[in-house]
Amino acid sequence: MKMFKFFSRLIALTAWFLQFPGTVDAFEFGNVHFHGYLDMEYTKADRNWSGQHNYKNGSFDAHHFNLVLDAPVNEKLLVAAMIGMEHGLDQSAIGFNNGRIVTEYAFGQYAFADYFKIRAGKMLTPYGFLNEIHDATPALLTVEAPLTLYSAQKRGGEAIFPEWSTGAGVLGNFFLFEDMGLDYVFYIANGENTGQTNEAEFDDNANKALGGRVLFTPWDFLTLGFSVFYGDIAVKKNLDKTHASYGFSLAFEWDNFNLTGEFFDSKIRNIEQQASYVQASYTFLGRITPHIKYEYLNVLEQEDYDWHDLGVGVNFKVMDGLFLKAEFHSHLRGRDNSEVYNNMRRYNEFVGQVAIAF
């Protein structure tokens, strides 16, 4: 049940960390455990494709310094939190894009059994394989989770689902038969707003958002997933838009070969978008993993609003907790995509990363 165990850990607080059992032991103060990760990236494009930054210059980015707290109160009750500090946070750089600090999640969880737990607080929305670890770069094979799915708003679309959800839910995992596993989570949470209020504090919506995800492992080499989200996007307490989305996920693993793919569909009012990716990789010597990935985003109501991204790269595990990544991406964007700058529809990009888990 290798794949089932992997995705069960993904739902847990330190799923991204537990994949590296040899990393440095966490600091401990009584029952409180601290983990974290740090990464540095370098990006250079062959053309100035953005009106916001000139990526042709080439630039280093101190992207993440995230701290994770894991505090078991007793054998049943757990408190978990992660604070993220991004892009070399500098509050003195007033008037500039000076990074951010964010509570990625902070929740309490009570476990009646492995198959039934209750969780309440702010959570990374359980959607697809990667949203709960989308920033945890040591746990990702690639430099970033597929942006056309997990950050569609950065590629000319709308967010397919909210990155965070504040509310309560039930979750668990169990084996149906000896080699057949099921992992589930269902939740109710505040809906999305337009940035006028803090969604973790106050909901602009009269109706609460509902969502869930199920991961099914019929055999130890195959995992199938289904995710769903339904809620309202409100402005000043007047319902403005209804947001409904669903997604399918598939992961196939055989020895050192892995094939993963996901498809998401999202509809906000009358605007529908679809996003997908497929990724293949093979690990040599337990450390070197070349990979190829194709991503696609399309807004169906727009004639030429798509985004294609073909990427090839390698992930090198230097030692436990230290990863080097290098990728080459070829991008093609539809003429009407809102991110197109100076009619720059096609460009290539190199991305490198150092990621450290501690």
CA dist., res. 142 & res. 315, Å (int): 7
CA dist., res. 305 & res. 297, Å (int): 8
Residue with tokens 């907790």, as numbered in its chain: 321
pLDDT at 18: 39
CA dist., res. 127 & res. 144, Å (int): 16
pLDDT at 21: 42
pLDDT at 2: 45
pLDDT at 14: 41
209: Cβ contacts below 8 Å, ≥ 6 apart = 162, 165, 167, 188, 189, 190, 191, 192, 229, 230, 231, 232
Query: For residue 114, which of 165, 179, 184, 166 has the smallest C-alpha distance?
Result: 184
167: Cβ contacts below 8 Å, ≥ 6 apart = 120, 123, 187, 188, 189, 190, 208, 209
pLDDT at 23: 45
pLDDT at 233: 85
CA dist., res. 7 & res. 181, Å (int): 10
Domain residue spans of the chain: 2-357
pLDDT at 24: 45
Q: Are 321 and 136 in contact (CB under 8 A)?
A: no
Q: What tokens does 187 get?
A: 């939740």
pLDDT at 305: 94
pLDDT at 99: 83
| pLDDT averaged per 10 residues in sequence order, the chain, 358 residues | 43 40 51 93 94 90 96 95 91 67 96 98 98 96 97 94 97 90 97 83 89 97 98 67 95 97 94 96 97 96 93 98 98 94 95 98
Q: What is the dotted CATH code of the domain comprising 2-357? A: 2.40.160.10
Backbone angles phi, psi at 348, to 5 degrees: -115, 155
Q: Are 211 and 185 in contact (CB under 8 A)?
A: no
pLDDT at 177: 83
